[in-house]
Structure 1
Amino acid sequence: MSKLKASFFWFRRDLRLEDNVGLFHALQSSFPVIPLFIFDDAILESLPKDDARVGFIYDSLSKINKELLGIESALLIRKGKTLDVWKSLIKEFDIQKVFCNKDYEPYAIERDLSIAIVLKEQKIAFQSFKDQVIFEENEITKADGLPYTVYTPYKNKWLEKLHASTELTPYKTKDYYSNFYRITFSFPSLEALGFIISKIKVKPYNLTHIKNYHETRDFPALDSTSYLSPHLRFGTISIRKLVTWASSTNPVFLSELIWREFFMQILFHFPKVVTQNFKSAYDGIQWRNNEADFEKWCSGNTGYPMVDAGMRELNATGYMHNRVRMVVASFLCKHLLISWQWGEAYFAQKLLDYDLSANVGNWQWAAGTGCDAAPYFRVFNPEIQLKKFDEKGIYIRKWIPEFDLGYVAPMVDHAFARDRAIATYKAGIIK
């Protein structure tokens, strides 16, 4: 029996049919396209069975499959180690070419390189495209070609290049739907993939909140965030659509999208930041890393209401307001002198929008050890932050129902913790 001759499009961080660069090019190739998603055991094996992010991926794939069924095609789902899956697919199909969109994280780069080698051995072309960013790792550089490590000049160059480009033009994949392979694959249940439905859900995004983002972004009680971040992380919305919207609606929100790309190119050029300080001068800091203190922080029982409300929100929903993220991160690193790596790892377990480059970048910013970071002697006062951004206590009472019943005393005095942090950092700086 002859094997099906087809090209493949491999979904990864781009879970949509609309305005998908790699899919657009795949559908214009000479052979009908089989769309594929691989549940990667190398990633999944460390996750809980009810991981909400896996559930979100599954639901997003279900929507894609439903649309494909409407044109008599279907999404092929496989599970396993990606290299093993591709070796199996090579035996099963007469693969002509594999298309995908680029992923810039260290694991993904290594994975794609190994896949490309196996495909090349079988004379199968492997082509990847820029899709999850407007400008990738080497497109925004200094005059000497080196990467920026300070945000503001990066942002200025980014905006200058955007205005002179056509990067926001959408890719009209629907015009080429006729080139999907007319075939049916069975769509597995979430349980068949080894997971169960989570009580935590990813919320639909709301672009209308972007208009007043600059006025409302610091006030967690308003619940006026767009909830875009998980959708951007997994590519259920096009970055081109989002930047087009932000460019004409709110420059402050656009700046946040540029921060995302800044941290992504930092991770690409300086992969050591996954586990090490960007600024090695801070490698001498003597962290306390007290496990009992860390547990109080994780569970939201520090005695500082904004810190505790943030951690309880995270544990219950997978979300945390951005202003609150800064407060809880600063508290862990500065007040408790617990290394940012501990906090980064906890956020990686809990955040629905977990993105390695942003998580590492923002944690090092809060700790004062990253590129373009807050100075080490800047120590957020959680009580002042509470008065400024949740003056009526609406946010904290939502997550701390016992607040008015005699709340637990602060686990550490702010003035003492501030002085200790500054002295510890100062003593640890390697000159």
Structure 2
Amino acid sequence: MDKKNPVTIFWFRRDLRLHDNAGLYHALKSGTPVLPLFIFDKEILDDLEDKRDARVTFIHQTIEQLDKELHQLGSSVKVIYDKATQAWDNIIQAYNITAVYTNHDYEPYALKRDNTIKEKLKKHGIELKTFKDQVIFEKDEVIKDDGKPYTVYTPYQRKWYNLLKPFYLKPYPTEKYLKNLAKTKALPIPSLKEMGFEKNTVPFPNQEYKNVISDYKAKRDFPAIKGTSRISLHLRFGTVSIRELAKTAYANPDKTWLNELIWREFYMMILYHFPHTMDHAFRPEYDRIKWLNDETQFKAWCDGQTGYPIVDAGMRELNTTGFMHNRLRMIVASFLSKHLLIDWRWGEHYFARKLLDYEMASNVGGWQWAAGSGTDAAPYFRIFSPDAQTKKFDPQLQYIKKWVPEYADFSKYPKPIVDHAFARERCLKVFKVALAK
């Protein structure tokens, strides 16, 4: 393929699949052969401290699999390792591009990057066309009657259901148009080593989710059993379609699992309308809290050595697998921000480094919920008791025994780094002073 032949480019980002892909569907119908593209963005990769980051391995393996599927169709994916802006300078020089298609991304860095690329392409008479693919409803689609965004989940959820029509859940039939892919020889894919990374052998969850939906409400809070789908990694990188997930969930009589997907869209809408919440409290008065930020205690929390077995189990699961059960995410976040009075941003940043399914909107939203500083958050005086949470959600200590085996031997397990009753009273006092100003 050279400058003589016009080509449409489809830019893969957080939509790593051929099936039911909105932007890819529209690209394939454009009338010009479609060249798939993926950029390993140095701006993002250079910020990753862990050169065995499992997310990079997951993306690399997914791209390789995607490329195999494309080979069967006589095509290939062009993979570039560079800063996105530099990569596009080279692509514009190398190809006769009629248009570039991609799907919306909503995080602050992505929005800034896409605006830069859009202007760069425009100077060459090339249009960047983007489509909704990550969510059922986005940005301003679910808003109050006065045009303002919702800041409380329940009325947002109600409006979400009211707006839902069958066509929102209908898949894009990309398969009908795959013949319009550009015919190319196999193109080289940069290795992990070439990008300065090593392969991580942590097992990745599969895409099976249907078997948990019917019992999800009853089982979702118990970390010792497989009561959750663990589909979030695939949702994060778009290896599954949100329309497929929502359609399956909507068909189930109990809507608890679907409501979790709606929470995700709620938080994405909040981040879009209130981008300052990525590093500031949604409720500004919470930025007045005088955090203790004890680095020794923060390290104990990170390492799963707090002396509270339910907290330590959650942190060790995260450190070992890149996953943490949702109930545990709430427990450990509450413990850090309220028991230890450590700034929720410290915890959010740690999760950003460790979680396979890290998604800024949901992570920031969850952390601010736990700290009481966010939209529709738990009130500041709601402080999880680790012991009560254990009795309620791990009564047989199955989860704790798996991740904190030394708990049975008091000589080996650390003593609590803070007394619960003392920490609770201290938290109430500090929050009350900050919020009274």
**TM-score w.r.t. length of structure 1:** 0.98
Structure-1 separation of matches of 2:358 and 2:169: 25
Report the Cα offset of residue 63 of structure 1. Answer: 1.2
Structure 1 equivalent of residue 101 of structure 2 = 99
Query: After the TM superposition, which parts of structure 1 deviate over 4 Å for at least 4 consecutive aligned residues?
Result: none
Amino acid at match of 2:23: G
> Does the alignment pair 1:236 with 2:242?
no
1:20 aligns with 2:21: yes
Once the 2 structures are TM-superposed, how far is the Cα of residue 39 of structure 1 from its aligned partner? 0.3
1:139 partner letter:
E
Deviations 1:114-171 (A, max 9, x none): 0000100000111000000000110000001000000000000001101x35100100
Q: 1:249-264 alignment to 2 at 5 Å? A: 249=252, 250-264=254-268
Task: Output one character per residue of 1:389-431: Cα deviation in whole Å (capped at 9) or x when no partner.
Answer: 0011100010011111113221111111001001100001154
Corresponding position of 2:278: 274
Partner residue, 1:418: 424
TM-score of the superposition, structure 2-length normalised?
Answer: 0.97
Find the aligned partners of 1:36 and 1:183 in 2 and give their Cα distance.
12
Q: Distance in 2 between matches of 1:367 and 1:227?
A: 24
Aligned to 2:288, the other structure's residue is in SS state coil
For the residues of structure 2 that align with 1:2 and 1:215, how far apart are their CA atoms?
A: 59
1:222 to 221, 225, 228: 225
Percent identity of equivalent pairs: 52
Deviation at 1:206, TM superposition (A): 2.2
CA distance in 2, matches of 1:66, 1:323: 38
Inter-partner Cα distance in structure 1 for 2:369 and 2:295: 23
1:381 aligns with 2:399: no
SS in 2 for 1:348: helix
- What is the CA-CA distance between 1:334 and the residue it aligns to? 0.4
Return the alpha-carbon distance in structure 2 between the equivalents of residues 400 and 271 of structure 1: 38
| 1:362 match | 366
For 2:268 and 2:44, locate their aligned partners in 1 and report how far apart those are by CA, in whole Å.
20
Please say if residues 137 and 268 of structure 1, whose CA atoms lie closer than 8 Å, have aligned partners that are also in contact.
Answer: yes
Deviates more, 1:244-253 or 1:334-343: 244-253
The alpha-carbon distance between structure 1 residues 171 and 188, as it changes in their structure 2 partners (threshold 3 A), is: same
Q: Which runs of no fewer than 5 residues in structure 1 stay unpaired? A: none
Q: Is the 8 A contact 1:283 1:430 kept in 2?
A: no
Determine if contact 1:282/1:430 at 8 Å carries over to the other structure: no
Equivalences for residues 120-199 of structure 1 within 5 A: 120-162=122-164, 164=165, 166-184=167-185, 185-199=187-201
Residues 1:347 and 2:351 are matched in the alignment: yes
RMSD: 1.0
Change (3 A) 1:194 1:4: farther
Q: Please state whether the residue corresponding to 1:375 is helix, strand or coil.
A: coil
**Aligned equivalents of 1:388, 1:203: Cα separation in 2:** 27
| Contact 1:284-1:430 at 8 Å conserved across structures | no
Residues 3 and 92 of structure 1 are in contact (CA less than 8 Å); yes or no, is this contact kept in structure 2? no
- Contact 2:18–2:174 (Cα < 8 Å) also in 1: yes
Partner Cα separation in structure 2 for residue 232 and residue 214 of structure 1: 20
Query: Residue 3 of structure 2 contacts residue 94 of structure 2 at CA under 8 Å; is this kept in 1?
Result: no
**How many positions carry a matched residue from both structures?**
430
Q: Measure, in 1, the Cα distance between the counterparts of 2:208 and 2:121.
A: 41
CA deviation profile, 1:233-258 (whole Å, cap 9, x unmatched): 00000000000011112400001000
Distance in structure 1 (CA, Å) of the matches to 2:280 and 2:298: 20
**What's the CA shift string for 1:322-352, capped at 9, x where partnerless?**
0011000000000000010000000000000
Instruction: Check the 8 A contact 2:80/2:190 in 1, yes or no.
Output: no
- AA in 1 matched with 2:135: V
Partners of 2:245 and 2:289 lie apart in 1 by: 40
* Separation in 2, partners of 1:430, 1:418: 18
Whether the 8 Å contact between 1:56 and 1:201 is mirrored in structure 2 is no
Partner of residue 47, structure 2? 46
Q: Which residue of 1 aligns with 2:331?
A: 327
Match of 1:247 among 242, 250, 267: 250
2:85 matches 1:83: yes
Matched letter for residue 26 of structure 1:
A
Residue 170 of structure 1 contacts residue 241 of structure 1 at CA under 8 Å; is this kept in 2?
A: yes
